[in-house]
Amino acid sequence: MSAAHSTSLRFPRLLLTGAAGGLGRELRRRLKAYCDVLRLSDIADLGAAGPGEEVMPVALENKAAVDALLKDVSAVVHLGGISTEHSFEEILPANITGTFNVYEGARRHGVKRIVFASSNHVTGFYRQDEVVGTDVPMRPDGYYGLSKAFGENLAQFYWDRYGIETVSMRIGSSFPEPRDRRMLGTWMSYDDLERLVVSSLTAPVVGHSVIYGISDNATAWYDNSKARHIGYRPQDSSERFRAAVEARQPVIDTKDAGLIHHGGGFVKQGPFDKT
Amino acid sequence: MSAAHSTSLRFPRLLLTGAAGGLGRELRRRLKAYCDVLRLSDIADLGAAGPGEEVMPVALENKAAVDALLKDVSAVVHLGGISTEHSFEEILPANITGTFNVYEGARRHGVKRIVFASSNHVTGFYRQDEVVGTDVPMRPDGYYGLSKAFGENLAQFYWDRYGIETVSMRIGSSFPEPRDRRMLGTWMSYDDLERLVVSSLTAPVVGHSVIYGISDNATAWYDNSKARHIGYRPQDSSERFRAAVEARQPVIDTKDAGLIHHGGGFVKQGPFDKT
Amino acid sequence: MSAAHSTSLRFPRLLLTGAAGGLGRELRRRLKAYCDVLRLSDIADLGAAGPGEEVMPVALENKAAVDALLKDVSAVVHLGGISTEHSFEEILPANITGTFNVYEGARRHGVKRIVFASSNHVTGFYRQDEVVGTDVPMRPDGYYGLSKAFGENLAQFYWDRYGIETVSMRIGSSFPEPRDRRMLGTWMSYDDLERLVVSSLTAPVVGHSVIYGISDNATAWYDNSKARHIGYRPQDSSERFRAAVEARQPVIDTKDAGLIHHGGGFVKQGPFDKT
Amino acid sequence: MSAAHSTSLRFPRLLLTGAAGGLGRELRRRLKAYCDVLRLSDIADLGAAGPGEEVMPVALENKAAVDALLKDVSAVVHLGGISTEHSFEEILPANITGTFNVYEGARRHGVKRIVFASSNHVTGFYRQDEVVGTDVPMRPDGYYGLSKAFGENLAQFYWDRYGIETVSMRIGSSFPEPRDRRMLGTWMSYDDLERLVVSSLTAPVVGHSVIYGISDNATAWYDNSKARHIGYRPQDSSERFRAAVEARQPVIDTKDAGLIHHGGGFVKQGPFDKT
Amino acid sequence: MSAAHSTSLRFPRLLLTGAAGGLGRELRRRLKAYCDVLRLSDIADLGAAGPGEEVMPVALENKAAVDALLKDVSAVVHLGGISTEHSFEEILPANITGTFNVYEGARRHGVKRIVFASSNHVTGFYRQDEVVGTDVPMRPDGYYGLSKAFGENLAQFYWDRYGIETVSMRIGSSFPEPRDRRMLGTWMSYDDLERLVVSSLTAPVVGHSVIYGISDNATAWYDNSKARHIGYRPQDSSERFRAAVEARQPVIDTKDAGLIHHGGGFVKQGPFDKT
Amino acid sequence: MSAAHSTSLRFPRLLLTGAAGGLGRELRRRLKAYCDVLRLSDIADLGAAGPGEEVMPVALENKAAVDALLKDVSAVVHLGGISTEHSFEEILPANITGTFNVYEGARRHGVKRIVFASSNHVTGFYRQDEVVGTDVPMRPDGYYGLSKAFGENLAQFYWDRYGIETVSMRIGSSFPEPRDRRMLGTWMSYDDLERLVVSSLTAPVVGHSVIYGISDNATAWYDNSKARHIGYRPQDSSERFRAAVEARQPVIDTKDAGLIHHGGGFVKQGPFDKT
């Protein structure tokens, strides 16, 4: 595989959290091209360390362990935590406490750049006929989205007080291909994911910047015009999947909240409260 | 002719009003690819019905006839009415009453999506050095533009109260080629017209959306960024006509209201009042 | 009654249309202070002309009669037409054709300033927790609102092409007192109505300006900050009626569209189509 | 004490959390005028229940206890939790988990309106020469501010998914008098606090609305124009304290981050991490 | 005369430039209440120094003399230069070079706050039916306005690079009373001028802030909402002069550029080029 | 060399000022394709006039000489003056007085279109993580930037009062290739410079339009969406230089003002005051 991004910058040590997840496994093999050592972490099994890899399993809610994780790191790609909707009680330690621990570790060890896997679910309650920029009020569509909103606010705070820079990527739907008509708008190819992550790592000045992570799809309800300083130029598009996707899902019920919002079915999940 | 748009969606019955007009004749042959039956209507002669066609001549101000027109229809492309500047008295029945009749018919027969041929003349009194989005205050440049403004407001109302969705296409200048320097900005090719109409018919969620109908022209004074959820990606450009057009019209008199506004000569027509 | 507005300007002849209606009767006695002759018109009975009055009954859809009405007039306060929700067929002649006739008459007779009684129903489909300015997209809540939206666009057009100035007053609820909790937001006292009308007549430069017509209510969902050049400073407030109104209507059902939108019950009226 | 707000609405049972805190004690005696029963809760001692009072001590992180708290409640004024800067580990259970528990209780028991004591520290990292509205991106100035930002996002979510309405009051500095020059801008008198809380409880339609809680101070860096539907009209001003406050603090060092931001000294607190 | 502003702050030495002009003479007697020593400068005769006064005549284009003027100064009220329209060649040394000299002197001598007499003529080419905020693009109406625009940009630059704070007061028409109907909008009483200047001197944090200098006039085309951190609350209004002014100027010719723009007659002055 | 722009328009006589500078030499050979006579001016040596050239050396502060320069000219490309940071005293005559002289000459000789070489340094004090449009408040980063800000305001004034049109090109970094990482954002190729200048000369209606002059770089902090009426479509990109530039400058110190602002090192130059 040749690198999707043309940078010549190379980091001594990158930390990738959530490296055992779907996007983590993709980025594990892709980020090697941009660093000397790739430190991998997850609570799930990561297998053996390959060449140029370090494997450090941690639970993100373990503050001491996360602190160790951040030591000697040049920059972080933080995918770790729960990546779909769960109960508040499950989301809280992994995503809220865990992300706090990552930023505290970064502060203590002098790490200056974090690429944070935020989510389209931070703004999931906008309708699909509303095109939104990166500075609209948050409208999370569940506990997962709330935890990502918390992470973005945390990133803003660590920038404002401590000068730690973050790019919060509001990732759409990064899969091999779009699964339904909503994903014709939210899809991001793995190559574009790599482009976005590497742009975010290498852009000279980002402060705390928010950007929607989608490919160059014809259909979109996101406006990244305030994030062009990051230098992300997607090269793929969901358009080649349109006919197949539409054939599978010809009808949209515009009364169905799960079909008409940015966040799709997330807006209807729960309640997770079983009492 | 191969279809300009990659959708696989197919409508049982589409209604095309104004099918005998300039754009109507273009769309008559192009829309067949996207439906089982194409119902055609106009007050002018439509010739015989071809394969997969139904021909239903009506005067749009005839409420009962229009009501029949909407029966059993999946979606509507409403081009009907007077399409250039005329007196208020001529515009009123065809464009204002007529469009009301179409929406009432849609409401009564449960039709849920209308693609409405609005016009750049809804905002024709902006200057050509003002780039406008789809949510600026309307500035119609004549009775025709006023009738299209009425139609857009009607569409918004039928969405807000009845849940009938509309894409209001503010069509620029859809001709085989741009005729003057203004049209270098407002031109839309017929292939792009087809792309826009089909995108508008097939976009999953549109509520009431407004979009300017132009090709990917280098010169433009429209900003469609709030309408990217529709999925319209123009593929043509007026640029290849630039040299010829400029040669024919080398001079622009910036004191001439008819040359410096979005709406061109429309801003100066009338008065139609002969008393 | 002493005049509510401190202007010293006096018009040779003012035309007041709709002079037999609720607001018309109020303004009939109030506007005399600001003109030599007050020409009164309505389709309903106006009684005999008092001192300084001229009575000219007309149906607004009668173009010739309206043309005569505008002769020798200094400025117009145009309240005429149907002022509540009715069927489209009833609204059309009085409000759409009628207002066109008034502007055509003004154009032909060189009248340069019109104060147009528009309505909060032009934007009636905004929710009561949305504060809107005077330049948001129109969202009419019925045929009445659509006709007022048409009137505003017409006013913009006669300004852009012919230099006839208009203040479009989006009147809230001008009654002796607010009748329900929505009117705590939309209420305008008659004294404030007089202030608004006279400000609109006498402001030096208005082009086409839009302003919401409400008193200085504590509760409001309108923002007139773009209209402060008109010089309207309301002096009354609905606050003194709060306790009584709340006692009569203690509960708001936030599922009831007719209780939560700017336009109140208008948003639910109709359909007027009886077939 | 006579009531500061003119409403005639009266709630069967109001819940006041954080009733033992500074603002809680003020509101405890003031809210009785607006309800039959005032249910009081805090983790600190609340003393004995007075007439019309119920006392229910709970720790907000105790989900079951909070659930019981919400039973049979008409509306909630949620002040509970830690109200100044502390470590993340202290803030988390009281403010983040605790507020979640309150909203879950409200959802389960059908409570439809919550007045949430948010804070100016949600936007504390704006400079004092930046005037901000209620829809600017959040810039929390510490863990306390982050927890209030979380609460606002939670409120938005419970409105979007469950239709529970919230007014998030971004309270400035509600003390008997302003203590320093920053508080000349952020001060809110207790009478105005009462006005704001009662307006928030009684406004007919609020969805999720954000409003800054300050008096009618001459100096201010907040713009509440998007929240005027709530009907809050402050009657007090910090101006009468100006001379005394300026005499005590004549000099502002514009290099001192703690003196020039909205959030004042909060922006510099911490780190709370002792390792 | 009692002070119009309630501050208790007192400056060791204030510099007032342009102290011999119309506003300078007013402020000369008013600013004494706020400082130990008032240093006065002008190119015109200032008379003898009164108690607590220092008189230092300079030509503002004399860099060395201006440098001496700034020595030992706590803050500056910079009114100096030509205050009405003149030729570019006259405006240049006094207003452009002169203001540069003042800022260079401030930088060299560590002066940290300047109150700059800018002008409504910085935005004089907006129409009187356009309400503008403090961040709209500049539209100067002549060489005088251009020089004030230069001064504002200079102030922004000295803030951005050197941390010298400025309030740029875009003064409307500060005279004993409004002279024409435009001044009903632009008038500022001398008491309000004092309030604005003292607010600008004493506001804790201003960076570079722009504010329109007008009284609380009913008619206005300025929006100071972004400048409320300065704490300026005008107490006067042009309304009591309305009847007299309107009687003197009953007619506005809306074709006359000098009557319909913010800048009034300034927009039509010149050309000053005599060749 | 073939022309980079497809226009067929040809000017009888174009004036190019600053023709001996870096961009001037590039445009000297490129503009010949678009005019019959190219009048060249500079204070530096221009060599002999080639075919179709006129050479007229002038110092821009010489009003009479500049007046002669504008005689019989169809349009102007005004690059003249000092093009990097210098002391105020050096910048003043060449850039401020000089540009005034050019506009006065244009006014006197009836020249109706000027393309003005403004600069990114007009907004140089924005940070590189702030994407700015063409209507944000100016934030010049030095005397050079101040002079260009003055030129833009002058252009606006000559349009508002005299109807002389200008495109103010805020040129980024037009060199053979980008020299550092900031220039990956600001770079404009010479071919794109030609495209921009010719678009600006030939766009039918520009009033006073501002546009940022950069190529189609992946990294950018400018938003030209309000200037698309000019018809500028860049064809080059800095991306092919990325690897080499990053290799030369791998590290950005985000504490270094000269590395993190739009204006780069300009923000730190000076003081030029030697006393």
pLDDT per position as a tens digit, D179-188: 999 999 999 9
B129, B225, B239 member nearest F207 (Cβ) = B129
Strands laid side by side in the F208-213 sheet? F53-55, F35-41, F11-17, F75-78, F113-119, F165-171, F208-213
> End-to-end distance of chain E based on CA atoms, in angstroms?
51
Beta strands in chain C (DSSP E): 11-17, 35-41, 53-55, 75-78, 113-119, 165-171, 208-213
Q: What pLDDT does C106 receive?
A: 98
User: Which helix (DSSP H) or strand (DSSP E) does residue D76 occupy?
Assistant: strand D75-78
- How many cross-chain Cβ pairs, A to B, lie less than 8 Å apart? 62
A174 and A213 Cβ atoms separated by less than 8 Å: yes
Strands laid side by side in the B208-213 sheet? B53-55, B35-41, B11-17, B75-78, B113-119, B165-171, B208-213
The residues pairing with F13 across neighbouring beta strands, listed in sequence order, are F37
Do C131 and D233 lie within an 8 Å CB cutoff?
Answer: no
Low-confidence spans in chain C with pLDDT less than 50: none
Q: Which residues fall within 8 angstroms of residue B211, CB to CB, at 6 or more apart?
A: B134, B167, B168, B169, B170, B196, B200, B224, B227, B230, B232
Task: Give Cα D27 distance to the centre of its chain.
Answer: 11
pLDDT per position as a tens digit, B137-164: 999 999 999 999 999 999 999 999 999 9
Peptide bond into B137 cis (omega under 30): no
Give 3-state DSSP helix, strand, coil % of chain C, rounded to 5. Answer: 40, 15, 45
- How many cross-chain Cβ pairs, A to D, lie less than 8 Å apart? 89
Q: Which residues fall within 8 angstroms of residue D274, CB to CB, at 6 or more apart?
A: none
- In chain B, what residues touch F204 (CB-CB under 8 Å)? 128, 181-182, 252, 259-260
Distance CA D17, CA E213 (A): 46
Q: What pLDDT does E3 receive?
A: 84
Task: Give Cα E64 distance to the centre of its chain.
Answer: 24
Report the neighbours of B using a cutoff of 3 or more CB pairs below 8 angstroms: A, C, F
pLDDT higher than 80, residue D230 = yes
| Spatial CA neighbour of D185 closest among D212, D153, D158 | D212
Kindly give the pairing relationship between strand B35-41 and strand B11-17.
parallel
Distance CA B134, CA B188 (A): 17
- In chain D, what residues touch A146 (CB-CB under 8 Å)? 150, 153-154, 157
Do F205 and B129 lie within an 8 Å CB cutoff?
Answer: yes
pLDDT per position as a tens digit, C229-273: 999 999 999 999 999 999 999 999 999 999 999 999 999 987 776
Report the neighbours of C using a cutoff of 3 or more CB pairs below 8 angstroms: B, D, E
Show the tokens assigned to F222. 């400018």
Do D229 and C244 lie within an 8 Å CB cutoff?
Answer: no
> End-to-end distance of chain A based on CA atoms, in angstroms?
50
Do E259 and C231 lie within an 8 Å CB cutoff?
Answer: no
Residue D4 distance to chain A (closest CA, Å)? 32
DSSP state of D94: I
- In chain D, what residues touch E168 (CB-CB under 8 Å)? none
Residue where the block lists tokens 């009194």: B125
CA neighbours closer than 13 Å in the CB half-sphere of residue C205: 24
- How many cross-chain Cβ pairs, C to D, lie less than 8 Å apart? 63
Distance CA D192, CA D188 (A): 6
- In chain C, what residues touch D205 (CB-CB under 8 Å)? 127-129, 252, 254, 259-260
Cβ-based neighbour number of residue D257 at 10 Å: 18
Identify the active-site residue in B144, B212, B222, B232. Answer: B144
What domains can be seen in chain F, in order of their start residue?
11-268 (3.40.50.720)
Left if phi > 0, otherwise alpha if psi is -120 to 50, otherwise beta: which for E163?
left
- In chain D, what residues touch C130 (CB-CB under 8 Å)? 229
- Per-residue pLDDT band at D173 (split at 50, 70, 90): very high
Measure Cα distances from A87 to A92, A142, B53, E206 in Å: 9, 9, 54, 46
| Chain C residues interacting with chain D (CB cutoff of 8 angstroms) | 127-131, 181-182, 184-185, 218-221, 223, 225, 239, 242-244, 246-247, 250, 252, 254-255, 259-260
Identify the active-site residue in E144, E212, E222, E232. Answer: E144
User: Which helix (DSSP H) or strand (DSSP E) does residue F60 occupy?
Assistant: none
Report the neighbours of A using a cutoff of 3 or more CB pairs below 8 angstroms: B, D, F
Q: What pLDDT does B273 receive?
A: 63
Left if phi > 0, otherwise alpha if psi is -120 to 50, otherwise beta: which for A237?
beta
Do C204 and E181 lie within an 8 Å CB cutoff?
Answer: yes
Cβ-based neighbour number of residue B52 at 10 Å: 13
Q: What pLDDT does B2 receive?
A: 66
Do A157 and D135 lie within an 8 Å CB cutoff?
Answer: no
Do E100 and F88 lie within an 8 Å CB cutoff?
Answer: yes
**Taking all residues of chain F, what is their mean pLDDT, rounded to a whole number?**
96
Mean pLDDT on E212-219: 98
| Chain A residues interacting with chain B (CB cutoff of 8 angstroms) | 127-131, 181-182, 184-185, 218-221, 223, 225, 239, 242-244, 246-247, 250, 252, 254-255, 259-260
pLDDT per position as a tens digit, B50-100: 999 999 999 999 999 999 999 999 999 999 999 999 999 999 999 999 999
Show the tokens assigned to C57. 């009954």
CA neighbours closer than 13 Å in the CB half-sphere of residue A27: 31
| Spatial CA neighbour of E195 closest among E17, E2, E46, E5 | E5
Show the tokens assigned to F50. 């080639």
Q: What pLDDT does B1 receive?
A: 52
- In chain F, what residues touch A204 (CB-CB under 8 Å)? 128, 181-182, 252, 259-260
Task: Give the residue from C5, C9, C199 with the most E CB atoms within 10 Å of its CB, the best one to mutate.
Answer: C9
Taking CA–CA distances from A224, the nearest residue in chain F reads F131
Beta strands in B8-60 (DSSP E): 11-17, 35-41, 53-55
Distance CA F275, CA C208 (A): 57
Show the tokens assigned to F241. 């230089």
Q: What pLDDT does A94 receive?
A: 96
Mean pLDDT on A252-258: 95
The residues pairing with E169 across neighbouring beta strands, listed in sequence order, are E117, E211
Mean pLDDT on E185-195: 98
Q: What pLDDT does C271 receive?
A: 77
pLDDT higher than 80, residue B188 = yes
Q: Where are the alpha helices (DSSP H) in chain B?
A: 22-31, 63-69, 88-91, 98-109, 143-162, 181-186, 190-202, 242-248, 257-260
Distance CA E240, CA E217 (A): 10
For residues F144, F150, F155, F159, the Cα torsion angle rounded to the nearest 10 degrees is 170
User: Which helix (DSSP H) or strand (DSSP E) does residue E137 occupy?
Assistant: none
C199 and C193 Cβ atoms separated by less than 8 Å: no
Sign of torsion over alpha carbons F118, F120, F123, F124: negative
DSSP state of C189: -
A131, A225, A252 member nearest B204 (Cβ) = A252
| Chain E residues interacting with chain D (CB cutoff of 8 angstroms) | 6-9, 112, 163, 165, 199, 202-207, 209, 225-233
Mean pLDDT on E245-253: 96
Do C7 and E219 lie within an 8 Å CB cutoff?
Answer: no
Low-confidence spans in chain F with pLDDT less than 50: none
DSSP 3-state of C163: coil
Q: Which residues fall within 8 angstroms of residue B29, CB to CB, at 6 or more apart?
A: B1
Identify the active-site residue in A103, A126, A143, A144. Answer: A144
Show the tokens assigned to F165. 């049109």
Residue F144 designated active-site: yes
- In chain D, what residues touch A92 (CB-CB under 8 Å)? 96-97
Taking CA–CA distances from F207, the nearest residue in chain B reads B129
A33 and A52 Cβ atoms separated by less than 8 Å: no
Taking CA–CA distances from A200, the nearest residue in chain F reads F219
C40 and C73 Cβ atoms separated by less than 8 Å: no
| Spatial CA neighbour of C123 closest among C144, C102, C92, C109 | C144
**Taking all residues of chain E, what is their mean pLDDT, rounded to a whole number?**
96
Distance CA B235, CA B194 (A): 11
Residue where the block lists tokens 């008193």: C215
Do D202 and C246 lie within an 8 Å CB cutoff?
Answer: yes
D115 and D166 Cβ atoms separated by less than 8 Å: yes
- In chain F, what residues touch E140 (CB-CB under 8 Å)? 153, 156-157
- Rounded to 5 degrees, what are φ and ψ at E153? -65, -40
Distance CA C259, CA C253 (A): 7
D129, D239, D242 member nearest E206 (Cβ) = D129
C128 and D229 Cβ atoms separated by less than 8 Å: yes
pLDDT per position as a tens digit, A52-90: 999 999 999 999 999 999 999 999 999 999 999 999 999
pTM of the model as a whole? 0.97
- Rounded to 5 degrees, what are φ and ψ at E102? -60, -45
Burial of B181 (0-12, 13-18, 19+ CB in 10 A): buried
Taking CA–CA distances from C161, the nearest residue in chain B reads B267
Distance CA E238, CA E178 (A): 7
- In chain D, what residues touch C225 (CB-CB under 8 Å)? 225
Q: What pLDDT does E274 receive?
A: 57
Residue where the block lists tokens 């409000």: C95
DSSP state of D230: G
